[in-house]
Amino acid sequence: MRYDAVVIGSGQGGNPLAFRFADHGWRVALVEQSQVGGTCINWGCTPTKAMVHRAQVARYARDAARWGVRARDVSVDLGAVVEQTQKVVEGFRAGIEKQLGRRPTLRLVRARARLVGPNRVEAGGETLETSRIFLDTGSRPHVPRIPGLEEAGYLTNVEILRVSRLPEHLIVLGGGYVGLEFAQMFRRFGSRVTVIHNGTQLLPREDAEVAAALQAALEEEGISFRLGARTSRVERDSSGVSLSLDGAAERETVRGSDLLVATGRRPNTDALGLETAGVEVDERGYIRVNEKLETTASGIWALGDVKGGPAFTHISYNDFQILYGNLIEGRDLSTEGRIVPYCVFTDPQLGGVGMTEREARAKGKRLKIGRIPMSRVARAVERDETAGMMKIVVDAETDRVLGASILGSEGGELVQILSTLILADRPYTLLKGAIYIHPTLAEGFFALMNDVKPVE
């Protein structure tokens, strides 16, 4: 059967693309081998952030005396948390399925897809023909090759969402976004938690002072860290799991009840038959695309995690906006120079946008830097949540904001104010004269902007 477009993968880029193509009058096939909604709704943003919120509630209840409130016998019913979370997931998924049903020219094909040529896709025993193929197949957990790991067993971000028994001691392998969010979550649920990271700094892209401040906040909650440690072997016995670590100075063994592997992602490209359509991948398996998100093959585009780059839902959605704008609206859009805000949903949150100080220095920029601790923000003091800091990186020649990091309560919300300033190409001084609602966390920008000064 022939279609105007075949979209493979129903994630946060593929779904809106298929919907809008159908609304435009195209006959569209949306191929999905698993649940509609992709990683974000089923195993990523939606369930994890729902559980992060419940972990925060547990923290407030358990530490209520800190705020002068008496609470007794606080415990977490993890089974109830998982059940509530799955209801949220199912609600989002049902919403997508309703959207699918409202479009008569859009067909959902529940099957594994494979390219069998530049213009043909095989799915569920039939061949779908089209002049336009869009790949939104996402990524999955990357599991390192460590002796004994497969035999010992482990959890990934997918399986741990279904765990209804609270781990006594959770070992987290990996100090990135996923690892840190789950580490704090389960610590707040009541588990002992140890994070093992082979780098000497958590979140290696961030400036060292920001990463150190986040680590300090997590350590204050009782999370243990082993940095600069390579896991050489994993074993399991009746008492749990043990990891042999080769550190910079010594070897040690860390023992726990459960193991979460959070060591990055790998693209879902190995079974797509990309070679039949001349689609190239890089050494890690990510699809090579140009700034218009086209691959080297005519009539094939890729969007979302499968093409590499920042693995954020909002990037996938922006990829959809770029493709639809170019193909249907006659606009000339690309990924070049786009401003990407992001957030690590720990508590305090780490919101970031643009360049870090290290990246700006590497480009030879003359800089102005502003930084303040959250203890200088009145609203944070009133809430007794002063962990973290605000930092802004400014081009000394133009006064334009190059980047910012906000580690604090609602850091992800706050950093988007600075993201807008970058998009508008206005100087940081614009915010020095702004009026902020008192008392709000954003009011901290008064002190931050006044702290901006030239640095060597």
Q: Does residue 334 lie in a domain region?
A: no
Q: Give pLDDT, residue 247.
A: 72
Do 93 and 135 fall within a single domain?
Answer: yes
Do 7 and 133 fall within a single domain?
Answer: yes
Pairwise CA distance, residues 56 & 79, whole Å? 17
Do 130 and 154 fall within a single domain?
Answer: no
Q: Which residue, 240, 263, 286, sits at the end of a domain? A: 263
Average pLDDT rounded to a whole number, residues 423-439: 96
DSSP 199: S
Pairwise CA distance, residues 450 & 456, whole Å? 18
Q: Could you tell me the pLDDT band of residue 322, with boundaries at 50, 70 and 90? A: very high
Q: Give pLDDT, residue 249.
A: 63
The CATH number assigned to the domain holding 191 equals 3.50.50.60
**3-state SS class at 220:** helix
Do 396 and 449 fall within a single domain?
Answer: yes
Domain count, the chain: 3
Q: Does residue 57 lie in a domain region?
A: yes
**Under 8 Å between Cβ of 381 and 67:** no
pLDDT value at 302 more than 90:
yes
Do 54 and 154 fall within a single domain?
Answer: no
Q: Does residue 157 lie in a domain region?
A: yes
- Residue-range definition of the domain harbouring residue 216: 149-263
Do 7 and 136 fall within a single domain?
Answer: yes
Do 168 and 244 fall within a single domain?
Answer: yes
Q: Which residue, 278, 303, 327, sits at the end of a domain? A: 327
The CATH number assigned to the domain holding 406 equals 3.30.390.30
| Buried/exposed 163-197: b ≥16 CB within 10 Å, e otherwise | beebbebbbbbbbbbbbbbbbbbbbbbbbbbbbbb
Do 129 and 274 fall within a single domain?
Answer: yes
Q: Does residue 197 lie in a domain region?
A: yes
Q: Which residue, 302, 327, 352, sits at the end of a domain? A: 327
Q: Does residue 189 lie in a domain region?
A: yes
C-alpha distances in angstroms, 22 versus 30, 105, 129? 10, 6, 16
Q: Does residue 179 lie in a domain region?
A: yes
pLDDT in tens, 366-418: 999 999 999 999 999 999 999 999 999 999 999 999 999 999 999 999 999 99
Q: What letter represents residue 434's amino acid?
A: A
Do 95 and 134 fall within a single domain?
Answer: yes
pLDDT in tens, 135-169: 999 999 999 999 999 999 999 999 999 999 999 99
Within 158-285, residue ranges assigned H as helices are: 177-189, 208-220
pTM greater than 0.85: yes
pLDDT in tens, 248-297: 567 899 999 999 999 999 999 999 999 999 999 999 999 999 999 999 88
Q: Does residue 309 lie in a domain region?
A: yes
Q: Does residue 332 lie in a domain region?
A: no
Pairwise CA distance, residues 42 & 50, whole Å? 12
pLDDT in tens, 333-361: 999 999 999 999 999 999 999 999 999 99
Do 255 and 270 fall within a single domain?
Answer: no
Within 221-344, residue ranges assigned H as helices are: 313-327
Active site residues: 438
Q: Give pLDDT, residue 430.
A: 96
Do 248 and 289 fall within a single domain?
Answer: no
Do 136 and 229 fall within a single domain?
Answer: no
pLDDT value at 65 more than 60:
yes
